[in-house]
Structure 1
Amino acid sequence: MVPTAFDQDKIFVSQFIDACSSLGFSAYAYSVFSFISRHSHVYVYNTMIKALTDSHSAFEALLVYRSIGRAGLRPDSYSFPFALKAVVDFQDLRLGTQIHCQTICVGLDSNVHVVAGLIQMYSSVGCISDARKVFDERLGSFDVAFWNAMIAGYAKVNDPDSAWGLLERMPRTGTYSDSVLICWTTVIASYAQMDRPNEAIDVFWRMQCEDVKPDGIAMLAVLSACAHLGALQIQLGECIHGYIHKHGFDQMVTLNNSLIEMYAKSGDICKALQVFENMNHKTVISWTTIISAMAFHGLGMQALQMFSRMERAQVKPNDITFIAVLSACAHVGLVDLGRFFFNTMSSTYGIQPKIQHYGCMIDLLGRAGQLREALELVNQMPFKPNAAIWGSLLAASNIYADAELGEVALLHLIELEPWNSGNYALLSNIYASAGRWDKSLVTRKMMKDKGVQKMPGWSFIQVSNRAHEFIAGDTSHPQFDWIQKILFSMNEQLNIAHHVQIEYDELLDFDG
């Protein structure tokens, strides 16, 4: 390019910089840009800013953006969105507001790409009210990119209700583009990530009613919600499975992995296995998901056999795979095999055990009654034990009535989880099982003195494809009054039936 003077052509130079960056040679691309930038066009600057932002070199990208003015050039409608994306990576609100002012000065603050970039920037740095102000100022000129950016902004700050409220207000044009589909998918995923599966499924049904065709990503989000609800939404999960097969999405590995997880959490391990076996391409996530599913269902030996199949298929396990394998060993009490996998993780597979692996191993030893060894492993850990590890020891102490170890575990749990009533109740039960009623009462008194409230248990029922949650004495359900009315009516009918039965029985006795 140099001998032929193509290095002075803005299109060729931009394509060259883009190609270098995409191949991982960002430093060389930047050196080429620095050499020719003095006589360059803003198009080349934009390409360099984009390349540096994509390679997470936000600081350098912002330096290039600032150099546009020094070169006697003027930022255009592409410069600002790329620079704002760098601001998001750099998390610099002050610089973001400066760029916002510059968009106003050059008259590009109404450009659709610039406005979307500003909304994304403000919401990403936590200024959702400023993002909404930018959105409301452009509300008169409908463009789905504005709405998409604002809905994504609410999802980013974990406010799915505002995202859904905005989506309901979005003008319906009769035809739906990919951008509109992204809005719906964002809301569904936001509810699912906030552990609000009912709302995620409601939005999915509304999406169907408005004839918006879901894509693979939307189905991933709603499958996550189905998996969270387990057996309560197995029918919806099966419907989505049918949709996936009908529309040719069944070759998407990520969807199949989610189907395996959904079926497993819904209690249908046979269908989870069927999905797995029908997969043409299985990744390490696919193998790990099915191993974990089988361990979850108590099929420890089958899970370990699946791990052997995975090794024969020459798929390298990751750290999450070993969590599933150690859990499988714990479910069937294979202590020696669990020790073997735990000890060979590093030497054979190059995976250093994390605190989760130590937790699995301690749980395995605790379930097998080897409490002293479990406590020794806790003391040898290169990590500070967390509540899950002390909770495993406390549960094992309950099973094997080891009050001494239970005391040790509870003292640590009180520091880590001072308001968890289950820990106190469990130790109290350990003392009671050992006949140490005085200690049991002291534990209950300690719980009362600290003001720890016993956490109530929840009940779930499914009505018309929606899961409803209840606790004893709960009055928070929006249809509470109607439910009470039905219950009173049922009670009256039962009383009437009871009195009729009594009179009938007395009549039979009289006839006799």
Structure 2
Amino acid sequence: MPPPTLPAALHRVLSLIPRLASPRHLLQAHAYVLPRGGHRHPRLVSALLLASLRIPFRDHAVALIRRLHPSVSLRAVARLRGGGGLVPQLHSLLLRAGVAADAPASASLIQAYCSCGSVASARAVFDETVASGDVISWNVMIAGYVKSGDLPRAQELFDVMPVRNVVSWTTVIGAYAQMRRPEEAIEVFRRMQVEGIEPDGVALLSVLSACGDLGVVDLGEWVHRFVLKQRLFQEIPLMNAIIDMYVKCGSVQKAVEVFEGMEQKSVVTWTTMIAGFALHGLGLEAVGLFHRMEKENVPPNDVTFLAVLSACSHVGLTGLGRWYFKIMLSQYKIKPRIEHYGCMIDLLGRAGCLMEARGLVQDMPFKANAAIWGALLSAARTHSDTDLGEQALLHLIDLEPHNSGNYILLCNIYAEQERWDDVRELRMSMRDRGLRNVPGASSIEVDGMVHEFTSRDGSHPSLHKICEVLCAINTNVKAVGHIAMLPEALHHVIEG
């Protein structure tokens, strides 16, 4: 619950506190604000503490801490800009006040140290109070490690917790999902299920993200059923995550069913579905949904325009893409970001409008990044424009010198023009720079297990059968022009 609004009288005192220069004046301010509920306002508390520490007037600070709940003091200091230097002083005052060992105070102190980046100091406080077995302190310490990016220590502490609650599990699952380590996120979630802990909405959001990253649709469907069973379908962010999961797992029709079944939709809901259509090359469906969004008076945001521009790019709707790029600013007052320029350059490049794409790069109010030069290099590869390819590669070498894929694209341009000396020279340059062509990879989920296939990797036990099916598919593609049977066929082969 947020603190109440600061009354005008207390707001005036707040503005005066930094100018107080004597203990007597500070005591007067203290005596005025506390009976009037000033202890409920972290900004006011932090100002009093800061003044007490700077005058210095330590006895007054100790008295203030004793009057207030210690966690209020610590939260107040943690919110101060540059308040990290005050946390050790406040820690000392808590010791003098005799409340540092209290479970709420120690948890707040751990959080204050973590908020200020002093994770080692937070761990020292934790180790001193760990005997109390307070789950809040454990959770705060784990969250501190997560915030600092130290997942191994967070996992180590989590594994030895005497008692875990849903917050403990959710913190670790969310950390792995955010760090793009979906396998570990799902593994921890499975353990959570085994121990009979019912997940909350935050845990489900993280698991859905991990399912989407891995393409694990079976677990995603379980989460969807759980959401319906628990009647959580009114939580729009959770339903948006389900749509996103189905889209990333290739189940576009199920994503549409969830979308259409939602009574309330946010701009994120519309954008997620439009982006899903674009991801699967369904540009006309994406554009149609954008028009429907406009008719229902849902204002698009900058991410919506990224999705619809991407859709136009994938299906070659060049004129429509130009129109959307124009009305972003003229109609919706959304200033294009560099990502929008990147989408337009990709769209123009795919359409063969290379001069227009070059002109847009020169005219945009940003310095071109690797994504933009990469789009131009890809367009040069598609349309065999050697000059543009060489120009783009020179910029890419500066921006991402270790990306071998850029060299390979230009090599392909040279090879198509039978410029074998240039191919040899470019490959020698790659060798001199220590670059290797990283093979591509894809994955498919069967019965809850994810199988990964890497280019030129013959280690899968069903490789022979897979090759037979792929040969058959290739024959059918040439005959009927589609690959709808691919997922089902590979499922059949891997299942044996």
TM-score normalized with structure 1 length: 0.81
8 Å contact from structure 2 (residues 10, 38) kept in 1? no
SS in 2 for 1:467: strand
TM-superposed CA distance for 1:141, in Å, is 0.8
- Name the structure 2 match of 1:289: 272
8 Å contact from structure 1 (residues 65, 83) kept in 2? no
Equivalent position amino acid for 1:215 in 2:
D
8 Å contact from structure 1 (residues 227, 266) kept in 2? yes
Provide the C-alpha distance between the structure 2 equivalents of 1:331 and 1:460, rounded to a whole number of angstroms. Answer: 23
8 Å contact from structure 1 (residues 80, 103) kept in 2? yes
- Name the structure 1 match of 2:159: 168
Deviations 1:305-363 (A, max 9, x none): 10111111111111111101111111111111111111111110010000000000000
- Unpaired runs of 5+ residues, structure 2, are 18-27, 463-496
Provide the C-alpha distance between the structure 1 equivalents of 2:330 and 2:455, rounded to a whole number of angstroms. Answer: 52
Equivalent position amino acid for 2:108 in 1:
G
Deviations 1:264-304 (A, max 9, x none): 00001000011000001100110111011011111111111
Match of 1:418 among 401, 407, 414: 401
- Name the structure 2 match of 1:46: 39
Within 5 A, what are the aligned runs for 1:172-251?
172=163, 180-230=165-215, 233-251=216-234
8 Å contact from structure 1 (residues 152, 186) kept in 2? yes
8 Å contact from structure 1 (residues 77, 111) kept in 2? no
| Cα distance change of structure 1 residues 201 and 46 upon mapping to structure 2, 3 Å threshold | same
- Name the structure 2 match of 1:149: 140
Provide the C-alpha distance between the structure 1 equivalents of 2:89 and 2:314, rounded to a whole number of angstroms. Answer: 58
8 Å contact from structure 2 (residues 103, 132) kept in 1? no
Provide the C-alpha distance between the structure 1 equivalents of 2:246 and 2:289, rounded to a whole number of angstroms. Answer: 18
RMSD: 2.8
TM-superposed CA distance for 1:252, in Å, is 0.8
SS in 1 for 2:392: helix
Deviations 1:225-272 (A, max 9, x none): 101112xx1000001100000111111100110001000000010000
Equivalent position amino acid for 1:160 in 2:
L
| Cα distance change of structure 1 residues 77 and 380 upon mapping to structure 2, 3 Å threshold | farther
Provide the C-alpha distance between the structure 1 equivalents of 2:290 and 2:311, rounded to a whole number of angstroms. Answer: 10
SS in 2 for 1:260: helix
Provide the C-alpha distance between the structure 2 equivalents of 1:87 and 1:38, rounded to a whole number of angstroms. Answer: 17
Match of 1:446 among 424, 429, 434: 429
8 Å contact from structure 1 (residues 93, 122) kept in 2? yes
TM-superposed CA distance for 1:97, in Å, is 1.3
TM-superposed CA distance for 1:442, in Å, is 1.4
Match of 2:374 among 391, 396, 408: 391
| Cα distance change of structure 1 residues 434 and 88 upon mapping to structure 2, 3 Å threshold | farther
Equivalent position amino acid for 2:110 in 1:
I
- Name the structure 1 match of 2:74: 84
Provide the C-alpha distance between the structure 1 equivalents of 2:92 and 2:75, rounded to a whole number of angstroms. Answer: 16
Provide the C-alpha distance between the structure 1 equivalents of 2:98 and 2:456, rounded to a whole number of angstroms. Answer: 60
Provide the C-alpha distance between the structure 2 equivalents of 1:31 and 1:387, rounded to a whole number of angstroms. Answer: 51
TM-superposed CA distance for 1:32, in Å, is 5.6
**1:74 paired to 2:64:** yes
- Name the structure 1 match of 2:107: 116
Between 1:434-443 and 1:73-82, the stretch displaced more is 73-82
TM-superposed CA distance for 1:104, in Å, is 1.3
TM-score normalized with structure 2 length: 0.83
8 Å contact from structure 1 (residues 390, 409) kept in 2? yes
SS in 2 for 1:109: coil
8 Å contact from structure 1 (residues 18, 51) kept in 2? no
- Name the structure 1 match of 2:326: 343
| Cα distance change of structure 1 residues 182 and 52 upon mapping to structure 2, 3 Å threshold | farther
Between 1:84-93 and 1:345-354, the stretch displaced more is 84-93
Provide the C-alpha distance between the structure 1 equivalents of 2:166 and 2:259, rounded to a whole number of angstroms. Answer: 29
Equivalent position amino acid for 1:448 in 2:
R
Deviations 1:19-53 (A, max 9, x none): 324xxx7x7642266698342475744323x2569
- Name the structure 2 match of 1:37: 29
Provide the C-alpha distance between the structure 2 equivalents of 1:351 and 1:208, rounded to a whole number of angstroms. Answer: 44
**1:131 paired to 2:122:** yes
Provide the C-alpha distance between the structure 1 equivalents of 2:417 and 2:90, rounded to a whole number of angstroms. Answer: 70
Within 5 A, what are the aligned runs for 1:364-443?
364-443=347-426
Match of 1:107 among 75, 84, 98: 98
SS in 2 for 1:154: helix
Provide the C-alpha distance between the structure 1 equivalents of 2:259 and 2:133, rounded to a whole number of angstroms. Answer: 45
TM-superposed CA distance for 1:191, in Å, is 0.4
- Name the structure 2 match of 1:354: 337
Provide the C-alpha distance between the structure 2 equivalents of 1:456 and 1:62, rounded to a whole number of angstroms. Answer: 59
TM-superposed CA distance for 1:64, in Å, is 6.0
**1:457 paired to 2:431:** no
Provide the C-alpha distance between the structure 2 equivalents of 1:295 and 1:338, rounded to a whole number of angstroms. Answer: 13
| Cα distance change of structure 1 residues 65 and 117 upon mapping to structure 2, 3 Å threshold | farther
| Cα distance change of structure 1 residues 111 and 415 upon mapping to structure 2, 3 Å threshold | same
Provide the C-alpha distance between the structure 2 equivalents of 1:74 and 1:29, rounded to a whole number of angstroms. Answer: 17
- Unpaired runs of 5+ residues, structure 1, are 1-14, 475-482, 488-512
- Percent sequence identity over matched residues? 46
Provide the C-alpha distance between the structure 1 equivalents of 2:86 and 2:120, rounded to a whole number of angstroms. Answer: 18
- Name the structure 1 match of 2:50: 63
- Name the structure 2 match of 1:503: none
TM-superposed CA distance for 1:63, in Å, is 3.5
TM-superposed CA distance for 1:105, in Å, is 1.6
8 Å contact from structure 2 (residues 10, 33) kept in 1? no
Provide the C-alpha distance between the structure 2 equivalents of 1:322 and 1:341, rounded to a whole number of angstroms. Answer: 7
TM-superposed CA distance for 1:149, in Å, is 0.5
TM-superposed CA distance for 1:96, in Å, is 1.5
8 Å contact from structure 2 (residues 439, 456) kept in 1? no
| Cα distance change of structure 1 residues 102 and 195 upon mapping to structure 2, 3 Å threshold | same
| Cα distance change of structure 1 residues 28 and 443 upon mapping to structure 2, 3 Å threshold | farther
| Cα distance change of structure 1 residues 376 and 52 upon mapping to structure 2, 3 Å threshold | farther
